[in-house]
Structure 1
Amino acid sequence: MNIKMVLLASAAAFAASTPVLAADAIVAAEPEPVEYVRVCDAYGTGYFYIPGTETCLKIEGYIRFQVNVGPTSDTNDSSWDAVTRGQVQFTAKSDTEYGPLTGVIVLQANADNATDQDTILDSAYLDVAGFRAGLFYSWWDDGLSGETDDIGSNVTLHNSIRYQYETGSFYAGLSVDELEDGVFKAGEEPNNVGVAFGIGGTAGAFSYQVTGGYDFDNEDGAIRAMGTAEIGPGTLGLAAVYSSGPNSYYSIAEWAVAAEYAIKATDKLKVTPGVQYYGNYFGSGSDVPDDFDGLGDAWKVGLTVDYQIVDNFYAKASVQYLDPEDGDDVTTGYFRLQRSF
């Protein structure tokens, strides 16, 4: 025991007398400054400041699974097809002396199966002080809330320049549209241009919109009026459209009228029956006629059901029956599940 204590005391004395060299010192690294993402509430919910800038960014989108039912194009037999879509939208906003400067990019990916897929630029535009330029949907993309009405253009996404004046309950605008992928007649080239206008607003429980467009290459135009009103347990929607001849803004028929009644059965369930009648119905196809003369009429009836499963997740089912005078009747429909974020 005595020898052990002597050895321990000697070791302690040696350690106390040994100098600590500078190379042996342990220096703790200074923590890197962290810049946390700041919420931007100037433009509504969902925006945050891009770190190091005064630009606010919002990221949103949806995932959709849908099963379509209808006749095939080659055999006209009834068939079904499942498709999936993913879409993401980036919206950037910042203050300027002219008002908010907005930039929007929408990317969309569609998959019919593992090998048949495509990714497209669904929209990309800049907007400031009412002026918008880029690739975006025209007023002709708007419609009633159900799936029965067929009162829009075959292609509603254009490279365009437009100005739109807005107040809280009214807007009016004018656009110049490149109609490169629009409707063109035999002997014409798909390089035409069009001018469109949109006027709309709300007045209490009533909303309205008037849209028009003139296709310079086809030398024809179209005009459309829509209105909705809250009546009873739902919303009544009415629409009418007229086209002077087949053109990129409306070529489905010379004229058409549509009506629907969106019934809010519960807080989560909406049922929308609809009907539409076409005068001088052409439909769609590559052999676009010079005019609508001699074409037969058509009518359409359908039902759409929307159900909110939980917040940001809903189901939709729709079935439509079309009976053209100059062709075979057809029944189509789909079932959809969609999660938004």
Structure 2
Amino acid sequence: MNIKSLLLGSAAALVAVSGARAADVIMVEPEPVEYVRVCDVYGAGFFYLPGTETCLRISGQVRLQINVAGDPAENLEGDDYEVNSRVRARLNFDVREETELGLLRAYARVQAQNTSGADNGLEMEQAYVQLGGLLVGYRDTLWTSDVGGIEDGLLTDTDLVLGDFNTNQISYTFAAGGFSATLGIEDDGTGDAVPDVHGKLVYSGAWGGVFLSAVYDETFNTEDALGFGQVLPAELGGFEFVGSPIGLAGLLPLLDDGSNDAFALKAGAKFEDVFVAGSTLAFEGSYAFDPTVYATVGGLASTFSISEDNDTIFNPQSGAVPLFVEWSVGAGYSQAVGDFTVAVAGQYGELFETTYLTGFVPGTGALTTATAGGDYYSLVGNVGYDLTNNFGVLAEVQYTDVDLSELGSFDQTTGFLRFARNF
């Protein structure tokens, strides 16, 4: 055997061994990657959850708001005004899919905020499920909620809507064309088995829409609903809370009109592009046959109560004088011009007479009370500007004047400056 034959034989053996080892290697094929698919069935921003036919949209807002409240608000340094800052972070989760019973939707909104750096905690703003026309969960009461595309309120951020708070509820909406009819029951927080009952009729089109709302408030009592203290100017017969962060006096509604229930009606209309493109004109009115939390509106405010969203049924006007409205009328107008939006609104109402605890007789501990009715009006104006896509600034000013028959009259100017990034 010569050298050449030896080299060729060795090379062949190496190739054979290498081939045998290579045959023993297990090659793992990678799983195909399923990229996120856009779901355009329900509008922009939705995407399919991988491996399902369920669509999800995540949205939210981060904003800074500077609140200002004039006299009779008072800051800790004794000045007759208040200023604070509030930062809010909000996330919305909207999950939808089609079923044999119609659209199945789950919606949840959570947010956290602080006021002047003090943590106000994390809260669930809304959480509800819809299947076709059925809705179950927690959100703003049907009395003020957006049904059929027509939202209550008078177009400014402080929308002057009555009874704006959230409840646990069940409702069903029948919709055909531009018409919808909703009937719902809501937990009134009394602990008994009888809920509040709501009905709402809406007709909407490209021109705008009209609505009529009715509510039966099963059990209303001002002590139960508002008995942990409200506010009234000290000069009008109230008594000062020493060290109160809002510098206002205590006011406790003692009595209603003797009824255990209440009934109220509300109607409104909105007209789009009625004068020029980008314009909206709104009207709204209400009538309550008895005092009810669904017909309350805030009078005086502190910076802690400005633009607070969705207070509970127990205290729908947190931090402000609760005005029990017998009837009200209001109007609003907004106009968009390029990146600017301007809106104005006004409301006038007559008030139910309510008996209040106004203080104590010095040295005796005896209570002093006053019964007062009267009227009020409120004017709001704002200017908004979009600095860029999804980031804007809004400045708003509100003036409120309240005349309480036995306690006198008072007025107050409040406002805020807001920077908001939406996504």
Q: Where on the TM-score scale, by shorter chain, does this alignment land: which range?
A: 0.7 to 0.9
2:211: which partner in 1? 209
Q: 2:266 aligns with which of 211, 224, 227?
A: 224
The one-character-per-residue Cα deviations of 1:262-305 (angstroms, maximum 9, x if unpaired) are 133x122121122211212689x999xxxxx8401111112111
The answer (yes or no) to whether the contact 1:99–1:128 under 8 Å persists in 2 is yes
Q: 2:162 aligns with which of 152, 157, 163?
A: 152
1:175: which partner in 2? 184
- Residues 135, 282 of structure 1: CA spacing in aligned structure 2 closer, same or farther, 3 A cutoff? farther
2:418: which partner in 1? 336
1: CA distance, partners of 2:169 / 2:79: 37
2:329: which partner in 1? 257
Counterpart residue type for residue 196 of structure 1 = H
Partner of 1:38, secondary structure, is coil
1: CA distance, partners of 2:116 / 2:9: 77
Q: CA RMSD in A?
A: 3.1
The one-character-per-residue Cα deviations of 1:62-110 (angstroms, maximum 9, x if unpaired) are 1122111114477682111111111111111122111111111211112
The answer (yes or no) to whether the contact 1:154–1:250 under 8 Å persists in 2 is no
Structure 1 residue 299 and structure 2 residue 377: aligned? yes
Work out which structure has the larger RCO, using CA pairs closer than 8 Å and 6 or more positions apart in sequence. 2
The one-character-per-residue Cα deviations of 1:149-173 (angstroms, maximum 9, x if unpaired) are 4232142x11100001123422110
2: CA distance, partners of 1:227 / 1:133: 27
Counterpart residue type for residue 172 of structure 1 = A
Partner of 2:187, secondary structure, is strand
Counterpart residue type for residue 249 of structure 1 = Y
2:111: which partner in 1? 108
**Structure 1 residue runs without a partner (length 5+):** 1-8, 181-188, 288-292
Counterpart residue type for residue 346 of structure 2 = V
The answer (yes or no) to whether the contact 2:126–2:139 under 8 Å persists in 1 is yes
- Residues 127, 278 of structure 1: CA spacing in aligned structure 2 closer, same or farther, 3 A cutoff? same
Q: Report the alpha carbon displacement of residue 204 of structure 1 after superposing the two structures with TM.
A: 4.4
- TM-score, length-scaled by structure 1: 0.82
- Residues 162, 152 of structure 1: CA spacing in aligned structure 2 closer, same or farther, 3 A cutoff? same
The answer (yes or no) to whether the contact 1:221–1:249 under 8 Å persists in 2 is no
Task: Work out the number of aligned pairs and report it.
Answer: 319
2: CA distance, partners of 1:110 / 1:282: 36
- Residues 274, 58 of structure 1: CA spacing in aligned structure 2 closer, same or farther, 3 A cutoff? same
2: CA distance, partners of 1:177 / 1:40: 34
- Residues 38, 170 of structure 1: CA spacing in aligned structure 2 closer, same or farther, 3 A cutoff? same
Q: Report the alpha carbon displacement of residue 49 of structure 1 after superposing the two structures with TM.
A: 1.4
- Residues 336, 286 of structure 1: CA spacing in aligned structure 2 closer, same or farther, 3 A cutoff? farther
Q: 1:193 aligns with which of 188, 192, 195?
A: 195
Structure 1 residue 247 and structure 2 residue 292: aligned? yes
5 Å-filtered alignment, 1:14-25, equals 16=11, 19=14, 20=17
2: CA distance, partners of 1:232 / 1:42: 33
State which drifts further: 79-88 or 304-313.
304-313
Partner of 2:143, secondary structure, is helix
The one-character-per-residue Cα deviations of 1:25-71 (angstroms, maximum 9, x if unpaired) are 87764323212112222222222211122211111121122111114
1: CA distance, partners of 2:353 / 2:38: 52
The answer (yes or no) to whether the contact 2:349–2:375 under 8 Å persists in 1 is yes
**Residue identity (%):** 30
The answer (yes or no) to whether the contact 1:149–1:276 under 8 Å persists in 2 is no
1: CA distance, partners of 2:155 / 2:181: 21
The one-character-per-residue Cα deviations of 1:294-339 (angstroms, maximum 9, x if unpaired) are 4011111121112222222222111001111124211111111112
The one-character-per-residue Cα deviations of 1:240-277 (angstroms, maximum 9, x if unpaired) are 1111222131133111111122133x122121122211
Counterpart residue type for residue 262 of structure 1 = S
Q: Report the alpha carbon displacement of residue 213 of structure 1 after superposing the two structures with TM.
A: 0.8
Counterpart residue type for residue 274 of structure 2 = I
1: CA distance, partners of 2:13 / 2:41: 64
**Structure 2 residue runs without a partner (length 5+):** 145-151, 221-260, 297-322, 359-370
Q: Report the alpha carbon displacement of residue 136 of structure 1 after superposing the two structures with TM.
A: 1.8
2:48: which partner in 1? 49
State which drifts further: 330-339 or 135-144.
135-144
2: CA distance, partners of 1:263 / 1:95: 37
- Residues 273, 301 of structure 1: CA spacing in aligned structure 2 closer, same or farther, 3 A cutoff? same
1: CA distance, partners of 2:123 / 2:28: 47
